[in-house]
Amino acid sequence: MSKQCCSIDDHLKPQKNEAHQHKYDALGGQLCCLRTEKIYGKEHGQNEHHEHKNHDHSHGHDHDHDHSHDIEGKTVFELFLPAAVSLILLLTAISLDNYFPQDWFSGGLRLGWFIVAYIPVGLPVIKEAIESIRYKDFFSEFFLMVIATMGAFAIGEYPEAVAVMLFYAVGEVFQTLAVSRAKGNIKSLLDQRPDEVTVLKERRPVVIKAEDAKIGDIIQLKPGEKLGLDGELISESASYNTSALTGESKPDTKLKGDAVLAGMINLTTVSQIRVTAAYSDSKLSKILELVQDAAAQKAPTELFIRKFAKVYTPIIVFLSIGITLLPALFVDNYLFNDWLYRALVFLVISCPCALVISIPLGYFGGIGAASHNGILFKGSNFLDILANVQNVVIDKTGTMTEGVFKVQEVIINPGFDKDEILKIVNALESQSTHPVATAIHNYVGEVDDTIKLVGTEEIAGHGLKTTVNGNELLVGNFKLLDKFNISHDTDTSNIVYTVIAISYNGKFAGYLTISDSIKVDAKAAVDKLHRMNIRVTMLSGDKSAVVDHVARQLGIDNAYGDLLPEDKVKKVKEIRDRNGSVAFVGDGVNDAPVIALSDAGIAMGGLGSDAVIETANIVIQDDMPSKIPMAINISKQTKKIVWQNIVLAFSIKAIVLILGAGGLANMWEAVFADVGVALLAILNAVRIQRMKF
């Protein structure tokens, strides 16, 4: 069945068909536009073929051609058909040569037969070689294979000429399928965002394009449908499959007022959601942008292999010429055909395909495996960086704790009206999105709209300041009171809760204590990091007593509280200078500078601010601390596989190259050293997609 919507070109950009709306089952499985259609669908092939004809070939043939474009709408059977035809003709010819000799099978007819056997597998490679030369890439893998097989024809080694190209063609098909499979996890994300939504207009459901929906519109979401925009649930409750965002299929129950995000699938009754963000600003839209851009960021190993191939391949070509001609000066019984054959073997062995395909595939597989587990890497270079991290520095609130606070006690001095103070504090905190503000709102209740605030401002790392009825109101930590010279005699050093100080009309009015709960997997995450020999440090703007209490519960190595954003930056610099590379994990706007400074910045993407997600190199979509060691493990496994492939390719090629130059290896060993090693490296690279982390 050919695909009718959302074709994906080489650059992973969706092309939407407005008439189609995706359908899903109750568990979130997509019932249309399946992955096999994405890879093998007719329109996909046509789009990719068109893209291939028009893209910049200086990229496409620089030992970095995208094997996925070779699919061109064909089934697996159609992909292997040319090789199958060539194989049948080759086996028939070998049988007529050796097992069932016929008088008529000789001379021009025999040559013609082998040429016909060569054409199905050789012609596409010849075309690619010509294209490479047109765009000044003279030493592509295609060019090497054409020279080698044409040379074999020239010296009468017809069966080996066809066999070399046949095995090379089969290898190319396997590489194509492997690359497509590696892209599968990432490509499938592109259909996670519906093109259309049902909004209520004058209490009647109307289907419109998701991008035309406005903030404040009410979306009606039926069971099995996927939400197209971020919003706030206005129904009493609903259960959602959040696997598109988190990689976890466990249903997540939301209550009235909770945030629901684009990509979530309604599992129960019809629910209504008020849109809170434009289509292009939804969390899922940002995730898709990150995923689409990830492949552009290359790891240093990958970049080195590209540069190496550019130098290595011309050297091999000139060495093969030397192998052919130079022995004439030193060997008494020099035979041109013998030394040309050795040179051709040398050429086939030298093709760097195993390296230039399997290494990018290994990194792409790592990115795909991570995204499948709800972890987004913005580039393969960050896989390398995270694999070598020696220190993980974490924020506390919203990272290792739930970020859901509850008011524990309220201490208001006798000279103030407790109810009045709480009302004005609630009015001020209603202008903040901090979890503390939510806790105060939940404790006090609805905001009194008659309270007028003048000149409200947020003082970074301290709290909020405003004027009410002509009187100054300060709400924040005790450093805020010290900043404005508000005297107080409260000792909060032994309180293991977060303390919110209040000053009104220049006098200390009292304080509230607020507690937060530790995330269920936080302790396990720290333990796993320790088993990896990674030091864990906690930095927080919260008071030191609270930070130390949480750190002791989690077994964290070092913890520092009462830090301003600039203090966090200093601490991270100190840790990096003293103990090596640092990954910083945070979720708030004030964490953005530290994330930008660290070697690898990790953002908690579910509750995290957009500024942090934009700045970070890695995004954890479900805010689970256990994904931190998982991301590091995926990075380490990816790096290990990449280096296994490098060692495998170089060692086998080096051995067979020496044997080939000495005349001890023939074309069959050469084919194994090229295609065989490439296939082994590819199979090794795709292993990461099947690993459990």
Q: Is the domain defined by 196-278 classed in CATH 2.30.40.10?
A: no
- Segment 1-13 shows an average pLDDT of 35
3-class DSSP assignment, residue 457: strand
pLDDT band at 24 (very low <50, low <70, confident <90, very high): very low
Measure the CA–CA gap between 623 and 244, rounded to whole angstroms.
14
Neighbours of 74 (CB within 10 A): 16
CATH number among 3.90.550.10, 1.10.3430.10, 1.10.10.10, 3.40.50.1000, domain 375-401+519-632: 3.40.50.1000
Which pLDDT value is given to residue 686? 80
Measure the CA–CA gap between 286 and 497, rounded to whole angstroms.
35
Closest CA to 265 of 243, 287, 247, 284: 243
Q: Which of 62, 70, 230, 395 is catalytic?
A: 395
What single-letter amino acid sits at 677? V
- Segment 618-635 shows an average pLDDT of 91
Q: Say what the pTM is.
A: 0.63
More confident position, 4 or 398 = 398
**CATH number of the domain at 403-517, please?**
3.40.1110.10
Rounded to whole angstroms, what are the CA distances from 117 to 148, 470, 667? 16, 93, 17
Q: Is residue 23 scored above 50 in pLDDT?
A: no
191 in catalytic set = no
The dihedrals phi and psi of 158, each to the nearest 5 degrees, come to: -60, -50
pLDDT band at 323 (very low <50, low <70, confident <90, very high): confident
* Counts of helices then strands in the chain (DSSP H, E): 24, 24
Burial of residue 395 (CB within 10 Å: 0-12, 13-18, 19+) is buried
Q: What is the DSSP string of 542-610?
A: S-HHHHHHHHHHHT-SEEE-S--HHHHHHHHHHHHHHH--EEEEE-SGGGHHHHHHSSEEEEETTTS-H
More confident position, 287 or 168 = 168
Please name the residues in contact with 497: beta carbons below 8 A apart, sequence gap of 6 or more. Answer: 408, 513, 514, 515, 546
Closest CA to 79 of 181, 5, 1, 175: 175
Closest CA to 496 of 556, 549, 542, 563: 549
Order the strands of the 265-266 sheet from edge to edge: 252-255, 237-241, 265-266
Neighbours of 629 (CB within 10 A): 21
More confident position, 10 or 610 = 610
Closest CA to 429 of 417, 416, 443: 443
Which pLDDT value is given to residue 273? 93
Each residue's pLDDT tens digit, 441-451: 889 988 888 89
Q: Picking from 46-55, 60-69, 74-83, 511-520, which range would have the lowest pLDDT averaged per residue? A: 46-55
More confident position, 244 or 595 = 595
More confident position, 496 or 15 = 496
Q: Is residue 60 scored above 60 in pLDDT?
A: no
Which pLDDT value is given to residue 193? 58
User: Which residue's structure tokens are 């005349």?
Assistant: 663
Each residue's pLDDT tens digit, 535-568: 999 998 877 888 898 999 999 999 998 887 788 8
Domain ranges of the chain: 76-190, 196-278, 291-364+635-690, 375-401+519-632, 403-517
Q: Are 649 and 630 in contact (CB under 8 A)?
A: no
Which pLDDT value is given to residue 369? 85
Q: Give me the percent of the chain exceeding a pLDDT of 90.
A: 24
More confident position, 611 or 345 = 345
